[in-house]
A and B are shown apart, each in its own frame.
Chain A
Amino acid sequence: MFDLIGFLPRAIVQGVPLLFGSTGETLTEKSGNLNLGIPGIMYVGGISGVIGAFFYEQATVSAGTFRPLLGVLIPLFCSMLGSLLMGLLYCFLTVTLRANQNVSGLALTTFGVGVGNFFGGSLPRIANSSLPSVILTNTGNAFRTTLSGSSSPSAFETLFLSYGFLVYLALAVSLAAAYILRRTRVGLHLRAVGESPNTADAAGINVTRYKYLATCIGSMIAGLGGLYFIMDYSGGIWSNDAFGDRGWLAIALVIFTVWKPDLGVLASFLFGGLYILSVRSSSSMTMATKELYKMIPYLVTIVVLIFTSLRNKRENQPPASLGLAFFREER
């Protein structure tokens, strides 16, 4: 029989990086910025955390002074700093310099994936460490600390308490994002900026500031997805390209959820479930079938994209100014 209790948590942990990524990208797109640099930003978010953790572990583990709280906070801070810088770079190019968003985003992805794989592969050598590769078990364990302590957890514990804190943070962030977008003035202004920057501008909203803030905060959130993947999901072990195409899947998720972060919670777990259907070995399934399963999230996204354009419901369309630069004096 299908083991639902066993399956759901696995789907959830697969979904969490996507959830961070799509929440971040949704905020960004709501400001009218189509940030195709998200995959790169997620790599950078991951590797920045790794760099912070690496040096902290270097300094403390052998001396026996490793403290889990700092072990979590330092990578968290580094990760957010790294993705913030990426977000700033994207904004500087597309908002301040009004460069083409597609091109800037793709360049950012090239750069970010490069940074991730470069430092991931050569960090120990650069730091003159004796380690052959990046293995941060202490940090990994710190990130994996769960609420459920018992050795034979009940179904409830497995379903709800068996995760590291970043999983709950992902949920909180996307629900908060949904609330902000829907109910607050900041959210209203942000939606206006993405729909019609000229109108927002005429209403006295600082378009540039909103674009910068939404994109940078969005990048920081997305970067946490990379951090979660390495520290919690992979237990602190970096291997190049392991993160794979999850960044693009996060962008797909934004479309799939028609720019609603709260829908993203369920949708990301669904995507996660589809993903593990292909990854988890099951005797009845050949490698080839698994590859076909991996196609499903993309196909589903395409179907959603088509469906929203067919129904042509105004609320479900991409933000109207998505992908366009804003210049006040342009007529």
Chain B
Amino acid sequence: MDNKTPAVTMRNITKRFGPVLANDKVWLNIYRGEILALLGENGSGKTTLMNMLSGIYFPDEGEIQVDGREVVIRSPKDAFDLGIGMIHQHFKLVDVLTAAENIVLGLPGKLDLKAASEKIRAICAAYGFEVDPAQKIYNMSVSQKQTVEIVKVLYRGADILILDEPTAVLTPQETDKLFAVLRNMRDDGKAIVIITHKMHEVEALSDRVAVLRHGQFIGDMPTKTTNAQEMTNMMVGHPVVLNIDRPEPKDPKPRVEVKGLTVRDIEGTLKLDDVSFTANSGEILGIAGISGSGQKELLEAIAGLQPVEGGSISYIDDDGTREELIGKDPLSIQEMGVSLSFVPEDRLGMGLVGNMDLSDNMMLRSFRRGRSVFTDRKTPHKLAETVVRDLDVSTPSVSTPVRRLSGGNVQKVLVGREIASAPTVLLTAYAVRGLDINSSYTIYDLINRQKAAGVAVIYVGEDLDVLLELADRILVLCGGKVSGIVPGRGAKKRDVGLMMTKLGGGAHE
């Protein structure tokens, strides 16, 4: 295999964002007729590296060769001209344009949407995609949008394809279909790079795997010669024991009771359909499901951020009194004396204000306290110092804007603030997304401590392995419905996986 000329060679690539070293002298070869899995933890610089290949970023140092010739990729257009096409994790589509208009965007020549639509249909027929060329993007589902993205790259005849975590938004069936397409394209002689951190995708799909850690190139090898444990060790840098503590719940009592919860989004799509469950104190209730199955809506409905169409959410106090949470905004929930904390998925866009410093971010929860018209700045300042000390946040000072902290530290600040108010209910969404292993374990530990203190924890996660080890019970969502609730101890990954894609997990089969 090494005798072939690489389609792409990246040498000594370095990229910095301000003080952050995103890529540090990275070397990488990409070959035609091969699927390369670019593996690394979140924040290891995989996407940054590929963005330099697709012309989004420009490297600070290093050189790139395509077919043995040194090239300079200054813009996405340069990348296209070299046959490089990237499908980004966040879709690059213009909402108010149609699929066809998006697909031909940026191409030269006369605009002929009819001819373009024909060609799109031909591509769709060849690979089994379904795209209506005249449909506007804002009317499409996430997987439809991804299909448009892939068709767009194929339409341009790209022969070096980069896919950034393409399966995050897909159902397993859609994933299988995608993988089949990718294999076809590989057999067709195209070079394919798939960015991922999911081990089973690497094993199922790739021919070769390259590992990045902390922006550095660790090594590459044929997938056949390695295994998940070795790859994990390379990713993390030291042998990892995937073992999360799970103490028995102490004296669980119903704390939040959800009955028949139904939610529609602004466009009228049903996001939650008749969801019922009870979250107990002193227990971690895990929520599993494919991304976009209603997890976000569920947590936001409990937190008072999501308008609800029907059903009830009752908060049950220690003495048994019930309070209805629906129809209350976060402020009135707080005023009712319900201490509810929420670690949202979007940390800097929702949980924190990126441009404010640590103290001011601590103040988000507490600024209303007291009768004075003025804010109390001393208490949040002290809290910030406590959080930095107790959770070992690495920051120059408490007056540093949080956007300048790394992902793990941002999450520590957020979780630290949320548990500081001694909550009785703690909602967390993808609490360890983007964190390295050590920070992840710090977060699991913090959550377990809350559980021990009698808090009802609702933990939305994407990594089934973690959910199976951490949660006392797992609620599986499928398309906005409850597919089932299983005890965390003894649950099989395969069963939960099936429940995620099919209501009840296909028990009739």
Contacts and interface: CB of A to CB of B under 8 A. Distances in A.
A204 interface: yes
B262 to A, nearest CB: 23
Given A204-B76, A205-B77, A314-B136, A196 B94 contact: yes
B110 to A, nearest CB: 7
Nearest to A185: B111
Interface in A155-210: 183-185, 187-189, 191-192, 195-196, 198-206
B149 to A, nearest CB: 10
B57 A188 contact: no
Interface in A195-238: 195-196, 198-206
A329 B74 CA distance: 12
A320 interface: yes
Given A183-B111, A188-B105, A202 B96 contact: no
A196 B95 contact: yes
A311 interface: no
B101 interface: yes
B111 A203 contact: no
A273 to B, nearest CB: 32
A203 B110 contact: no
A206 B17 CA distance: 23
A196 B97 CA distance: 11
Nearest to A187: B111
A183 B55 CA distance: 28
A188 B76 contact: no
Contacts of B106: 189, 192, 200, 203-205
A198 B95 CA distance: 12
A17 B54 CA distance: 45
Interface in A80-130: none
A185 B104 CA distance: 9
A3 interface: no
A203 B105 contact: yes
A328 B56 contact: yes
A195 B96 contact: yes
B92 A203 contact: yes
B77 A206 contact: yes
Interface in B99-121: 101, 104-111
A185 B109 contact: yes
Interface in A54-84: none
Contacts of A245: none
B31 interface: no
B80 interface: yes
Is the contact region of chain A dominated by helix, strand, or loop, or is it mixed? helix
A205 B111 CA distance: 15
A315 B98 CA distance: 11
A192 B100 CA distance: 13
Nearest to A329: B57
Nearest to A192: B94
Interface string B27-45: 0000000000000000000
Contacts of A315: 96
Contacts of B54: 202
Contact of B77 (A187, A204, A329): A204
Nearest to B54: A202
Interface in B377-410: none
Interface residues of B, number: 29
A205 B94 contact: no
B76 A314 contact: no
A315 B136 CA distance: 10
B75 A204 contact: yes
A317 B77 CA distance: 29
B72 to A, nearest CB: 15
Contact of B138 (A198, A204, A314): A314
B404 to A, nearest CB: 13
Interface in A269-314: 314
A330 to B, nearest CB: 10
B140 interface: no
A192 B136 CA distance: 13
A196 B91 CA distance: 11
Contact of B97 (A184, A195, A198, A204): A195
Contacts of A202: 54, 56, 76, 86, 88, 92
Highest count of chain B CB atoms <10 Å: which of A183, A187, A203, A206 = A203
A195 B111 contact: no
Contacts of B55: 204
A187 B111 CA distance: 10
B352 to A, nearest CB: 16
Given A185-B109, A202-B88, A314 B96 contact: yes
B154 interface: no
Contact of A189 (B56, B75, B88, B105): B105
Contact of A314 (B17, B57, B95, B104): B95
B93 interface: yes
A187 B76 CA distance: 20
Interface in A33-54: none
A83 B509 CA distance: 73
Interface in B221-254: none
B97 A188 contact: yes
Contacts of A329: 17, 56-57
Nearest to B112: A185
Interface string B45-56: 000000000111
Contacts of A184: 110-111
Contacts of A195: 94-97
Contacts of A328: 56-57
B86 to A, nearest CB: 8
Interface string B162-206: 000000000000000000000000000000000000000000000
Closest 4 CB pairs of A and B: A203-B106, A204-B77, A185-B111, A204-B106
Interface of B: 17, 54-57, 75-77, 79-80, 86, 88, 92-97, 101, 104-111, 136, 138
Given A328-B56, A329-B56, 9 more contacts: A184-B111, A188-B111, A189-B106, A196-B93, A200-B94, A201-B56, A204-B76, A204-B107, A320-B95
14 contacts: A183-B111, A185-B109, A185-B111, A188-B105, A192-B97, A192-B106, A196-B94, A199-B93, A200-B94, A202-B54, A205-B106, A314-B138, A317-B96, A320-B96
